[in-house]
Chain A
Amino acid sequence: MAQYTQWFSTRKDTGTAWFLSGLALVAIVVPILNLLVPASSSFHVSAFGLTLIGKYLCYSLLALSVDLIWGYCGILSLGQAAFFALGGYAMGMYLMREIGPRGVYGNPILPDFMVFLNWKTLPWFWHGFNHFSFALFMAMFAPAFLALAFGWFAFRSRVTGVYLSIITQALTYALMLAFFRNDMGFGGNNGFTDFKDILGFDLHSDKVHVVLLVITAIMVALSYLLCRMVVSSRAGRVIRAVRDAESRTRFLGYRVESYKLWVFVLSAVLAGIAGALYVPQIGIINPSEFSPINSIEVVIWVAVGGRGTLYGAAAGAILVNYAKTYFTSTIPEAWYYALGALFVLVTLFLPRGITGLLSGGGFKKQVETERLRVQEKSPEGSQE
């Protein structure tokens, strides 16, 4: 009997082991292929390749955050890109301040777009962003604060299901419109770009990108382990209980709203970190990162990979984005159709995504197998 959970947890560990080894491999091999293998070799990873892999890793962290809130807690957040973008903007503000007098207009304090708008002084909310540590703090605090405020109202009023999904979409859309405005002080539709360096290290150098990639891989691994700790704790089981039978959980004496809020804030922080890692590698952040379609895409990555398993979500993000890179460079017009078709197919035939496929069918299949097992053990099929 004990072997059932053991089997279950070993299987989970296998996925974790694969995922973490994969990350370690990327963090070791890719730097070698970039720095040591000559550019003439076909094994050489170009600067573009580095950026691409870095992007995939950031997306896998974003997917983890969606899996936590959706796969485990059952809250379909379609506004996760908002937290990602806020983290990105916080990092972008630091990188803008870091440019200093090297901008086109040479103003040591004001970023170029402010000079262009004829602003004379730095807005109050830009203060402090010349410090890297403050920017890092804000990359986590701003998403956390938004999630806390939004979640507090939404969960307390017991907004659930599709209604919650819709208002999270509205949230990210509203933020997109706000960030598009020049007078918001975030660079309008151009956002931030033309970064020069990070902590004094040149952002145009491959070495710096390699270091950023390794840091990203480490952050993904740490976040993964944090998520794993949360979902395998008793709190993690309460979260799944909320997903499967919310009012039952409430009548057991759990304050469901508070659990949802904790998970939502944690997932927002993870998304913020992903955004903060994304911006220095990609070199640009603009309001299109808030666009509703981005949040929906993340949900598709998680669904394809397998929601409710952390490695599935993370791997799904990498797979789908690799496919996107491939498709958009060969037949760009087909990509969104392919993505849509993928989502429909996965929803219909693979409710547990690719990981479900690998571990032998969907939930129903699993239930069936278990039922047969039980009947074999006790022919009467029920307990005496």
Chain B
Amino acid sequence: MSVQGNKTLYLDKLTVSFDGFKALNDLTLQIDPGELRCIIGPNGAGKTTMMDVITGKTRPDSGTVRFGEKLNLLSMSEPEIAQAGICRKFQKPTVFERLTVFENLELALAGDKSFLHTLFTRRTVAQETRIFEVLEIIGLARIHQMMAGVLAHGQKQWLEIGMLLMQEPELLLVDEPVAGMTPQEVERTAELLSSLAGAHSVVVVEHDMEFVRSIARRVTVLHEGHVIAEGDMDQVQNNPRVIEVYLGA
């Protein structure tokens, strides 16, 4: 199995079935370094399952998942994959509600994550500086001492994105980042994600077409676990197969 070029993520012929239902069906997809990719598709198209496979939560029946040149993600556990530089934002904002914003980011710091290390470690100045950098990026610096549980929905989404940044990932997987956000929040999130591309590869799964249009350079359309179209937003929107799937024609 040879990997062409220097892709960040390389999915090849992935198939996952649950009780006979094929959530992913012969899915092939490649992500370039620094790319911002949007993945769209109707409900049940396999978007979340794809994320599950990449992050090690679900094992495919067949196919290959490679990260960078060497790593075979299928033989790695969830924490190992996270340590290797793939971070995931869940569909529902998932932050540690009973820790402060600052502590949430602290736990996401890259580094040794074994029990004995975290038991005796102390925060270094460099780490604090890094936490405050990220707090500035996600716009939560002013309220960093607050319990994450009291944040507004949009702020939780940003905090979670901030937690991904703390891990200095190569690849960010972002599942429906703007669900339930106000238009202003959506706009800010679009800016945030666009600014992250380049330094990181970003894969965004989203339903909100306006949002996708505003950030996407390249869009992949999934349907029934399979890629049916790929290209820029206009190409994809004019693709007859995509129109058929979305409009049910």
Contacts and interface: CB of A to CB of B under 8 A. Distances in A.
B172 to A, nearest CB: 12
Contact of A238 (B118, B139, B154): B118
A250 B94 CA distance: 12
Contact of B118 (A4, A234, A245, A384): A234
A244 interface: yes
Given A371-B150, A382-B155, A1 B145 contact: yes
A245 B77 CA distance: 18
A248 B90 contact: yes
B120 A251 contact: no
Interface in A335-384: 363, 366-367, 370-371, 374, 381-384
B147 interface: yes
Interface string B65-93: 00000000000011100110001101000
A255 B119 contact: no
B98 interface: yes
A254 interface: yes
B55 interface: yes
Interface residues of B, number: 46
Contacts of B87: 251-252
B167 A233 contact: no
A334 interface: no
Interface in A258-317: 258-259, 262
Interface stretch (B24-32, B40-48, B102-110): B102-110
Residue picked from A244, A259, A367, most chain B C-beta under 10 Å: A244
B238 interface: no
Contacts, number: 114
Contact of B145 (A4, A240, A250): A4
A226 B152 CA distance: 36
B118 to A, nearest CB: 4
B77 to A, nearest CB: 8
A235 interface: yes
Given A241-B99, A249-B107, A259-B115, 16 more contacts: A1-B142, A4-B146, A5-B100, A5-B102, A233-B119, A233-B120, A235-B115, A235-B118, A235-B119, A237-B103, A241-B96, A245-B94, A252-B163, A255-B79, A258-B115, A374-B150
Interface of B: 55, 57, 77-79, 82-83, 87-88, 90, 94-100, 102-103, 106-108, 113-115, 118-121, 123, 139-140, 142-147, 149-150, 152, 154-155, 163, 167, 185
29 contacts: A2-B145, A4-B146, A5-B102, A234-B106, A234-B123, A235-B118, A238-B113, A240-B99, A241-B107, A244-B97, A244-B98, A245-B95, A247-B90, A248-B94, A248-B95, A249-B107, A251-B78, A251-B82, A251-B88, A253-B167, A254-B107, A254-B113, A255-B77, A258-B115, A367-B147, A382-B152, A382-B154, A382-B155, A382-B185
